[in-house]
Chain A
Amino acid sequence: MSSHIVIVDLEISNLASVLQALRQIGAPPHAFATAQNIEFADAILLPGVGAFGDGMGSLRQKQLIDPIKRAAGRGTPIFGICLGMQLLAEHSEEFGSHEGLGLIKGEVVRLRPSEPEFRVPNIGWCDVEAVRPSVFFPNSAAGCYYHVHSYHLVPKDRAVAVGIIDYAGSQHVVALDTGNLFGVQFHPEKSQDDGLRVLANFFAALPHMQRPS
């Protein structure tokens, strides 16, 4: 049986690019998330570009916050991309102070490089180091991915991290995989072969993940 994927349309994301990448790798069929269909989803994809406050605002307006939290509680796999990964956190300091979905303990804070040659936003291709085998990097081999961000998620429990980049002398978490929660800070849909592989790995692993009862 094929999986039933729902995609959250935040209306501030680069959804077309994500859908094109899913088509390219032959991902399972999907529908846009509603408060209703999230109940039956085998996985929830949460792509996003833009400001944290706007992202949460969009979820609130679509009345998706509680359904997503309940799905997370049931064990439905949730995969956040870029802003989508940040939204999994408890809190963000982007343009004020905003509450997140609170699924991952941690905060989203601004990049504050100590060295001047590190520019903000961090735009470009960064090597990701796989810190342990994960859904995204099953062989502990990561790759090079396209990043565009001025903020980053700092999880309380570093053990959730599966991919890190070295940014201005400190290690920033850019991929996480814990229980049924997954996230990447970079843009797999814009990271050529390496990025398409991350997406393909996720969907290949999906049938083996715990399903909601």
Chain B
Amino acid sequence: MARPRLIPVLLLKHGVLVRSQAFRTHQVIGNPMSTVKRLSDWNVDELILLDISAGDFHDLRRDDIQQRYQGTGALDVLREVSKVCFMPLTFGGRISTLEDIQQRLAAGADKVVVNTAAVENPQFIRAASNRYGAQCVVVSIDALRRNDGRYEVYAGSGKRPTGLDPVSWAQEAAQLGAGEIFLNSVDRDGAATGYDIDLVRSITKAVNIPVIACGGVGCYNDFIPGITEGGASAVAAANIFHFFEHSYPRAKQICIDAGLPMRPVQLDSPWQRREPTYDRILEDSRIDERLRRAATMDYVAAASRPDQNAIRWCTRCVYPSISAAPMEFDEQGVCMGCRMAETKAGIPSDEWKQRKELLRDILEKYRCKDGSRHDVVIAVSGGKDSWFQTHVIKEEFGLNPLLVTYDGNNWTDVGWRNLVRMRETFGCDHVLVRPSVKTITKLNRLAFVIMGDMNWHAHVGITTAPVQVAAEKKIPLVIWGEHGYLDLSGQFSMYDFPEMSYRDRLEHFARGYEWNYFVGREGLTSQDMSIWKYPSDQKIFDIDLRGLYLGNYVFWEANQHSKMIIEQYGFEISDVAFDRTYRRMSNLDDMHENGVHDYLKYIKFGYGRCTDHACKDVRAGLMSREYAIELVRKMDHVKPSDLKRWLAYAGMTEDEFDRIADTFRDPRVWRMSKNNWVKDEPWPAANGPNHNGSHDQVST
């Protein structure tokens, strides 16, 4: 008999992958390519990709990432995805004609999912099955458990009741020639309470075609009863596979250990490398094209006529939709960052106590029992979060952590003093990972030209060095501070407990540029890039290496933490104000992070660190939106003074810098008017100097 399948489901909305709650709330996980590639690395049984876009609007959010694809629609995503899929690929969403099916099969799908079209016209199933074979037609049933305990089929992305009973509808679909039933529980979507087993069982008993159960999985153990009790041929889930490293192989191992005869876990495929393979000729031509545009001042954004509606701003804080962070807005126009802050603020102190106990259990599990290693690794930059993390782990939980720091050579004086004092203040061992300054200099220069951000080395170094040290020393737990995007843009829910992952590192920190991208450029060798190489999947899997974000377990408010570590431990804050933010306690480890790195974010997307910080403070109730707007207008556009140091460091003139930077301006944000860069904003006008000596015009 066929082995029971474990199937990840990906939800594609307007070009990006989302996490879903009750079919309504969607949070942006990221670019589909990096996740699909990762699932392929994990040797998954099958993949279901559902396009839940409303209309043809398509927005990848940022175009400075390496992972991109030709075209602007879900079919283009499918075509690209199928290139890395050596497993069955099922595609669904917005299919209502035989031509729709034909197009999707031609674009690389092996099977298609039909839902609303089948409900509206059941004969469509027969027509599809006759033309393409039953094995190709998966009928999706979205069932909702009503208050009276009875079930009803919903159509139109779970929004419209149909009056159909799931059991009789499944039987009819099977009779009409459906090859499989994809059964989703609407009320369990994103609820993390497990499958609705009664529902699953009622369908598997009623039909003799395979049934795929979906909806409600909150932990790996939830998959098991879908098969043992529900009788499903396959168990599927969406959200959970985004939250943890090796979520798929771990879930599978748990099912196998429970006696389910699933295919064995396989990692580190001999056919596919985890690290992307780059088309060197194509990439070189992209870089050459950028340099040509810079040299001739032929900017894409200069000729653009931005659509007034291209950018949305959160109606509660000041966050824009075109951003470096994966951001989504709800029906009220409120951003997911605000929504998650709301959730977080609503967590009662009792629950924080429970979360802390949850953390205690995990820490106890990973604590070293025989003295052979440190208990955990803490990734520290010497900043306020590092001090707070170390305080919690060392003082509150009594563990003996190993502190690991990536030294990117950009320290402020205060930041460096804070860092070196940590081993003295907390009595911890401290490993500094210090790459050659010659190599870092090259990476600064290269990454600025390639992706408009000199700090690639820092983002990737910080997310790699602690994991590398942990893997080498077989310390199975790395402690991070907050999950940056959960906090900033509500990428995950407070109930997801996301952990560090290779996908996150490659997509969000490295923007798709893995270490091997740089090999052969400016003479860099594979050996030179050693510090930026992530441990292999097998190595991580074997020691069950996890990376926890403390912010999921401990209440996190940066202003309060700073106050505590200043008073209790004498943490130093900056004695001089930053150019681009009003906060004085952030990013002391890297003078460019709040400076020229962040200035480039403004050049690209039209907003900067002041917006980030002001949004956090608006959400924490520390300032009004009006006050935030004042600050943003005052600081977001400022060209920072650390640029001088960087130019000398990288050996570049300011003119060269400006020209290359201007090639990265997002045409949806910027346009050129009378030799000035201009952008639209939803709040009253204010002017600030721009780097061409003229002014950025800001109009409403």
- Spell out A's residues near B (CB within 8 Å): 14, 16-17, 20-21, 24-25, 49-51, 116-127, 144, 146-150, 166-168, 187, 189-193, 195-196
Asked if B86 and A190 make an inter-chain contact with CB atoms under 8 angstroms apart, the answer reads yes
| A17 surroundings in chain B (CB, below 8 A) | 82, 85, 89, 108, 110
Asked if B133 and A49 make an inter-chain contact with CB atoms under 8 angstroms apart, the answer reads yes
Asked if B271 and A24 make an inter-chain contact with CB atoms under 8 angstroms apart, the answer reads yes
Asked if A121 and B1 make an inter-chain contact with CB atoms under 8 angstroms apart, the answer reads no
**With A and B bound together, what is the CA distance between A193 and B219 in angstroms?**
27
| A144 surroundings in chain B (CB, below 8 A) | 3, 263-264
Bitwise, B82-94 to A at CB < 8 A (1) or not (0) is 1101111100000
Asked if A124 and B210 make an inter-chain contact with CB atoms under 8 angstroms apart, the answer reads yes
Contacts known (A149-B135, A192-B266, A193-B271); A121 close to B179, Cβ less than 8 A: yes
Contacts known (A24-B86, A146-B88, A150-B134); A124 close to B5, Cβ less than 8 A: yes
**With A and B bound together, what is the CA distance between A6 and B598 in angstroms?**
54
Asked if B3 and A127 make an inter-chain contact with CB atoms under 8 angstroms apart, the answer reads yes
8 Å CB contacts to A: which residues of B228-256? Answer: 233-234
B594 touches A (CB below 8 Å): no
The 19 listed contacts between A and B (C-beta, < 8 Å) are A16-B82, A17-B85, A17-B89, A20-B82, A25-B271, A116-B208, A118-B1, A121-B134, A124-B3, A124-B233, A125-B45, A126-B3, A127-B3, A144-B264, A148-B135, A168-B1, A190-B86, A191-B86, A193-B86
Q: Name the residue on B nearest A146 (C-beta).
A: B88
**With A and B bound together, what is the CA distance between A87 and B209 in angstroms?**
25
Q: Name the residue on B nearest A124 (C-beta).
A: B2
**With A and B bound together, what is the CA distance between A49 and B109 in angstroms?**
12
**With A and B bound together, what is the CA distance between A187 and B136 in angstroms?**
14
**What's the minimum C-beta distance from B143 to chain A, rounded to whole angstroms?**
20
Q: Name the residue on B nearest A49 (C-beta).
A: B133
| A189 surroundings in chain B (CB, below 8 A) | 86
Q: Among B1, B45, B134, B269, which residue has its beta carbon within 8 angstroms of that of A193?
A: B269
**With A and B bound together, what is the CA distance between A196 and B271 in angstroms?**
8
Asked if B233 and A123 make an inter-chain contact with CB atoms under 8 angstroms apart, the answer reads yes
| B209 surroundings in chain A (CB, below 8 A) | 119-121
**What's the minimum C-beta distance from B40 to chain A, rounded to whole angstroms?**
8
Interface range, B side: 35 or more
Q: Among A21, A116, A120, A167, which residue has its beta carbon within 8 angstroms of that of B86?
A: A21
Bitwise, B118-149 to A at CB < 8 A (1) or not (0) is 00000000000000111110000000000000
Asked if A14 and B86 make an inter-chain contact with CB atoms under 8 angstroms apart, the answer reads no
**With A and B bound together, what is the CA distance between A123 and B209 in angstroms?**
9
**With A and B bound together, what is the CA distance between A149 and B105 in angstroms?**
17
Q: Name the residue on B nearest A187 (C-beta).
A: B88
Contacts known (A49-B133, A150-B134); A119 close to B87, Cβ less than 8 A: no
B272 touches A (CB below 8 Å): yes
B666 touches A (CB below 8 Å): no
Asked if A146 and B87 make an inter-chain contact with CB atoms under 8 angstroms apart, the answer reads yes
Asked if A125 and B2 make an inter-chain contact with CB atoms under 8 angstroms apart, the answer reads yes
Q: Name the residue on A nearest B4 (C-beta).
A: A124
**With A and B bound together, what is the CA distance between A189 and B83 in angstroms?**
11
**What's the minimum C-beta distance from B643 to chain A, rounded to whole angstroms?**
45
Asked if B5 and A120 make an inter-chain contact with CB atoms under 8 angstroms apart, the answer reads no
| A51 surroundings in chain B (CB, below 8 A) | 133
Q: Name the residue on A nearest B106 (C-beta).
A: A16
B270 touches A (CB below 8 Å): yes
Contacts known (A17-B108, A190-B110, A192-B87); A123 close to B132, Cβ less than 8 A: no
**With A and B bound together, what is the CA distance between A118 and B567 in angstroms?**
69
Q: Name the residue on A nearest B133 (C-beta).
A: A50
B43 touches A (CB below 8 Å): yes
**What's the minimum C-beta distance from A89 to chain B, rounded to whole angstroms?**
18
Asked if A192 and B5 make an inter-chain contact with CB atoms under 8 angstroms apart, the answer reads no
| A120 surroundings in chain B (CB, below 8 A) | 208-209
B514 touches A (CB below 8 Å): no
Asked if A117 and B1 make an inter-chain contact with CB atoms under 8 angstroms apart, the answer reads yes
| A126 surroundings in chain B (CB, below 8 A) | 1-3
**With A and B bound together, what is the CA distance between A96 and B541 in angstroms?**
52
Q: Name the residue on B nearest A200 (C-beta).
A: B271
Asked if A196 and B2 make an inter-chain contact with CB atoms under 8 angstroms apart, the answer reads no
**With A and B bound together, what is the CA distance between A106 and B309 in angstroms?**
65
Q: Name the residue on A nearest B2 (C-beta).
A: A124
B180 touches A (CB below 8 Å): yes
Asked if A119 and B208 make an inter-chain contact with CB atoms under 8 angstroms apart, the answer reads yes
**What's the minimum C-beta distance from A169 to chain B, rounded to whole angstroms?**
10
| B43 surroundings in chain A (CB, below 8 A) | 192-193
**What's the minimum C-beta distance from B436 to chain A, rounded to whole angstroms?**
36
Q: Name the residue on B nearest A24 (C-beta).
A: B271
**With A and B bound together, what is the CA distance between A74 and B264 in angstroms?**
42
| A167 surroundings in chain B (CB, below 8 A) | 1
**With A and B bound together, what is the CA distance between A122 and B45 in angstroms?**
15
Contacts known (A24-B271, A193-B269); A123 close to B87, Cβ less than 8 A: no
**With A and B bound together, what is the CA distance between A150 and B208 in angstroms?**
13
A-B interface, 3 closest residue pairs, ranked by CB to CB distance from nearest: A124-B2, A148-B135, A121-B135
**With A and B bound together, what is the CA distance between A203 and B105 in angstroms?**
27
Q: Among A16, A119, A123, which residue has the most Cβ atoms of chain B within 10 A?
A: A123
Asked if B86 and A192 make an inter-chain contact with CB atoms under 8 angstroms apart, the answer reads yes
| B269 surroundings in chain A (CB, below 8 A) | 192-193
8 Å CB contacts to A: which residues of B132-188? Answer: 132-136, 179-180
Contacts known (A16-B106, A50-B133, A192-B86); A123 close to B180, Cβ less than 8 A: yes
| B208 surroundings in chain A (CB, below 8 A) | 116, 119-120
**What's the minimum C-beta distance from A200 to chain B, rounded to whole angstroms?**
8
Asked if A125 and B3 make an inter-chain contact with CB atoms under 8 angstroms apart, the answer reads yes
**With A and B bound together, what is the CA distance between A119 and B212 in angstroms?**
13
Q: Name the residue on A nearest B105 (C-beta).
A: A14
Asked if A125 and B5 make an inter-chain contact with CB atoms under 8 angstroms apart, the answer reads yes
Q: Among B135, B179, B233, which residue has the most Cβ atoms of chain A within 10 A?
A: B135
**With A and B bound together, what is the CA distance between A124 and B234 in angstroms?**
9
Asked if B272 and A24 make an inter-chain contact with CB atoms under 8 angstroms apart, the answer reads yes
**With A and B bound together, what is the CA distance between A50 and B129 in angstroms?**
10
**With A and B bound together, what is the CA distance between A140 and B526 in angstroms?**
39
Contacts known (A21-B86, A125-B3, A127-B3); A50 close to B132, Cβ less than 8 A: yes
Q: Name the residue on A nearest B132 (C-beta).
A: A50
Asked if A196 and B86 make an inter-chain contact with CB atoms under 8 angstroms apart, the answer reads yes
**What's the minimum C-beta distance from B526 to chain A, rounded to whole angstroms?**
22
| B86 surroundings in chain A (CB, below 8 A) | 20-21, 24, 189-193, 195-196
| A150 surroundings in chain B (CB, below 8 A) | 133-135
Q: Name the residue on A nearest B212 (C-beta).
A: A123
Contacts known (A16-B106, A123-B233); A193 close to B87, Cβ less than 8 A: no
| B2 surroundings in chain A (CB, below 8 A) | 122-126, 147
Asked if B135 and A193 make an inter-chain contact with CB atoms under 8 angstroms apart, the answer reads no
**What's the minimum C-beta distance from B491 to chain A, rounded to whole angstroms?**
29
**What's the minimum C-beta distance from A174 to chain B, rounded to whole angstroms?**
12
Bitwise, B74-117 to A at CB < 8 A (1) or not (0) is 00000000110111110000000000000001111010000000
**With A and B bound together, what is the CA distance between A194 and B379 in angstroms?**
38
| B233 surroundings in chain A (CB, below 8 A) | 119, 123-124
| A49 surroundings in chain B (CB, below 8 A) | 110, 133, 135-136
**What's the minimum C-beta distance from A8 to chain B, rounded to whole angstroms?**
17
Q: Name the residue on B nearest A167 (C-beta).
A: B1
**What's the minimum C-beta distance from B279 to chain A, rounded to whole angstroms?**
13
**With A and B bound together, what is the CA distance between A49 and B263 in angstroms?**
24
Contacts known (A123-B180, A150-B134); A190 close to B87, Cβ less than 8 A: yes
**With A and B bound together, what is the CA distance between A24 and B84 in angstroms?**
9
**What's the minimum C-beta distance from B270 to chain A, rounded to whole angstroms?**
7
**With A and B bound together, what is the CA distance between A124 and B4 in angstroms?**
8
| A192 surroundings in chain B (CB, below 8 A) | 43-44, 86-87, 266, 269
**With A and B bound together, what is the CA distance between A119 and B2 in angstroms?**
9
Q: Name the residue on B nearest A126 (C-beta).
A: B2
Q: Name the residue on B nearest A148 (C-beta).
A: B135
**What's the minimum C-beta distance from B290 to chain A, rounded to whole angstroms?**
29
Asked if A193 and B88 make an inter-chain contact with CB atoms under 8 angstroms apart, the answer reads no
Asked if A123 and B210 make an inter-chain contact with CB atoms under 8 angstroms apart, the answer reads yes
